[in-house]
Amino acid sequence: MAGLAASFGSGAMTNSIGEVEKADTIFVTGSNTTEAHPVIASKMKKAVKNGTNLIVADPRNIGLTEAADIAVTQKPGTDIALLNGLMHVIIKEELYAEEYVEERTENFADLKEAVKEYTPEKVEEITGVAAEDVIEMARTYASVDRAAIYYAMGITQHKSGTANVFAIANLAMLTGNVGKEGTGVNPLRGQNNVQGACDLGGLPNVYPGYQSVEEPELKEKFENAWGVDELSAEAGLTVVEMINKAADGELRGLYVMGENPVLSDPDQQHVEEALEAVEFLVVQDIFLTETAEFADVVLPAACFAEKDGTFTNSERRVQFVNKAVDAPGEAMTDWQIFCELAKRMGYEMDYSSAAEIMAEIAEVTPIYGGISYDRLEDEELQWPCTDQDDPGTKFLHQGEFAHGKGIFHPVEHIAPVEAADDEYSYIMMTGRMLYHFHGGSMTRRSAAVDQHEPDAYVEINVEDAKELGIEDGDRVKVASRRGEVETYARIGSIVKPGEVFMPFHYAESPANRLTNAELDPIAKIPEYKVSAVKVEKV
């Protein structure tokens, strides 16, 4: 979000899921789409059958690789070099959208200077991608009328995550592929309502609608709306920063809602130490998660089927959800819990329904200004939707960018924090699989789902396995500078020699016991995707 907001003025998926099939070229990087976003992947495959070009760049040979016209496996953490290499070729061969760049963007001269050194040969040295493939990728992306980029956390979960996004935005603007149907820069969101959570203030630096907490007039606007005297004008902390402050004794209370940081945050041992150290921990969830085991108070919440409300998905589409069944026992909806707590803390937060909350959202959040329960019963609206007559917005930045002109942010290749060495001789990547979701607090409790992938595993290349004396299904120990886990070996050619991969859904073999909590300096996202490890047979 930080990268796209700075480049375009808006930090969301620019185009709609239905537009996948309207692209002439689809470029997928840092997304195992068939496993993490299978519905979107099915549309990509359909598009390919109908003649769309598909480029896939991922350190692993993922499912989409088989359908791709061009598939490359760059070294983990070398995305900027690869993207700069594509732009080098596009500018050198004059394939860029000269009129678009002139009229709709700023800072092109600096971008041109920055990518000048990223020749295909230099890119090959950094990334391992053959120079001729770099040239072919650039031509395939830039030589069509409509090209779309799709990416996920393989791009963002690096110390250079925001810079990686800048590079993607630069490539799209350079070729005029922002602001029209079937194009765009499209981050695929990792959870079903993470877009909605960000839209409505679930970030430490903005009010709902990405209105900065540091701007006095916006601060005053929300003070008036909420009937309070003094809201903070300082940005708060992100997740890993909170954990660090708790471990240091600077953060004394922590309230965790619908999240399981013991499994999903990096450097698990550090997280556990922080949760032990914090004076007061509240967990609000539908199950007693690994994080809830540390809690002083657990508040039982209602699940999605037990409440009314909305979800805003990756394409900015606000979807209406009707309550289907009653919540069990003492479980309450999240907003009811918050209201009851607020009252006990001296603030009369009193709503009668989720519809009333949505009405307030529309009042204070311009991009949601035209969205109401009455409309959502018949429509699925995409923001920005500013008033009741607005049909919503299928794709963003048509005619001009949200903040006027698009801004190129030139970036240089930034090496990952850790590299393989004599002691830790493999690079470990983490990610998701088709059958389980995030911390596994729901899917691991489903026998029907769990039977497909009941055990954790580490993917090892067949050449490395032979050298290590490891066979498929053997128990192995994987260790980093932060901890170690035991799991099962899965031998094959999905990962390259010198690299391994672990899914992070399993409490019994937690991949995040090993990962690095080093943060991107802007977005403060951890470097989950590159950790130096050693592997040995148990």
Listing DSSP states for 236-248 in one string gives ---HHHHHHHHHT
Two tokens, residue 117: 């050194």
For residues 65 and 181, give the distance between their C-alpha atoms in angstroms, rounded to a whole number. 25
Under 8 Å between Cβ of 431 and 503: yes
Query: Which residue spans of the chain are classified as CATH 3.40.50.740?
Result: 194-382
For 521, counting Cβ atoms within 10 Å of its Cβ (0-12 exposed, 13-18 middle, 19+ buried), the class is: exposed
* Domain spanning 2-188: CATH superfamily: Dimethylsulfoxide Reductase, domain 2 (3.40.228.10)
Give ∠ CA 150-415-93 in degrees, rounded to 5.
55
* φ/ψ (deg, to 5) at 169: -60, -40
Two tokens, residue 282: 């509240």
The pLDDT of residue 284: 98
- Look at residue 431 and give its three-state secondary structure: strand
Rg, the chain, Cα only: 23
Two tokens, residue 474: 């053997």
Other Cβ atoms less than 10 A from the Cβ of 262: the count is 23
Helix (H), strand (E) at residue 147: strand 147-151
CA 392, chain centre distance (Å): 24
C-alpha torsion 510→513→517→520, nearest 10: -30
What b/e sequence results for 126-148 when a residue is b if at least 16 CB atoms lie within 10 Å of its CB, and e otherwise?
Answer: bbebebebbbbbbbbbbebebbb
Partners of 499 in beta bridges:
427
Under 8 Å between Cβ of 317 and 380: yes
For residues 238 and 249, give the distance between their C-alpha atoms in angstroms, rounded to a whole number. 16
The pLDDT of residue 72: 97
Q: Select from 3.40.50.2300, 3.40.50.1220, 3.40.50.720, 2.40.40.20 the CATH code of 426-537.
A: 2.40.40.20
CATH number of 194-382: 3.40.50.740
Write the CB contacts of 343 (distance below 8 Å, at least 6 apart in sequence).
Answer: 349, 350
Write the CB contacts of 152 (distance below 8 Å, at least 6 apart in sequence).
Answer: 30, 31, 32, 33, 36, 37, 187, 188, 190
Residue that is written with structure tokens 């209370």 in the block:
253
For residues 490 and 478, give the distance between their C-alpha atoms in angstroms, rounded to a whole number. 13
The pLDDT of residue 402: 86
- Look at residue 240 and give its three-state secondary structure: helix
The pLDDT of residue 512: 86
For residues 182 and 150, give the distance between their C-alpha atoms in angstroms, rounded to a whole number. 12
For residues 31 and 480, give the distance between their C-alpha atoms in angstroms, rounded to a whole number. 24
Full-model pTM: 0.94
Write the CB contacts of 226 (distance below 8 Å, at least 6 apart in sequence).
Answer: none
Partners of 406 in beta bridges:
105
- Look at residue 322 and give its three-state secondary structure: coil
Q: What is the DSSP letter of 293?
A: G
Partners of 71 in beta bridges:
56
Helix (H), strand (E) at residue 35: helix 33-36
Return the biggest CA–CA distance within the chain: 68
The pLDDT of residue 444: 86
* Residues belonging to the chain: 538
pLDDT in tens, 192-218: 899 999 999 999 999 999 999 999 999
For residues 58 and 41, give the distance between their C-alpha atoms in angstroms, rounded to a whole number. 15
> pLDDT below 50 — which residues of the chain?
none
- Please choose, from the candidates 383, 374, 379, 378, the residue with its C-alpha nearest in 3D space to the C-alpha of residue 16: 383
Query: Which residue spans of the chain are classified as CATH 2.40.40.20?
Result: 426-537
* φ/ψ (deg, to 5) at 460: -130, 135
Query: Which residue spans of the chain are classified as CATH 3.40.228.10?
Result: 2-188
Write the CB contacts of 316 (distance below 8 Å, at least 6 apart in sequence).
Answer: 12, 13, 195, 382, 383, 393
pLDDT in tens, 253-294: 999 999 999 988 889 899 999 999 999 999 999 999 999 999
For residues 437 and 432, give the distance between their C-alpha atoms in angstroms, rounded to a whole number. 7
For residues 27 and 4, give the distance between their C-alpha atoms in angstroms, rounded to a whole number. 17
For residues 331 and 260, give the distance between their C-alpha atoms in angstroms, rounded to a whole number. 18
C-alpha torsion 256→262→264→269, nearest 10: 140
Under 8 Å between Cβ of 439 and 289: yes
Alpha helices in 329-416 (DSSP H): 334-344, 354-364, 373-376
The pLDDT of residue 510: 86
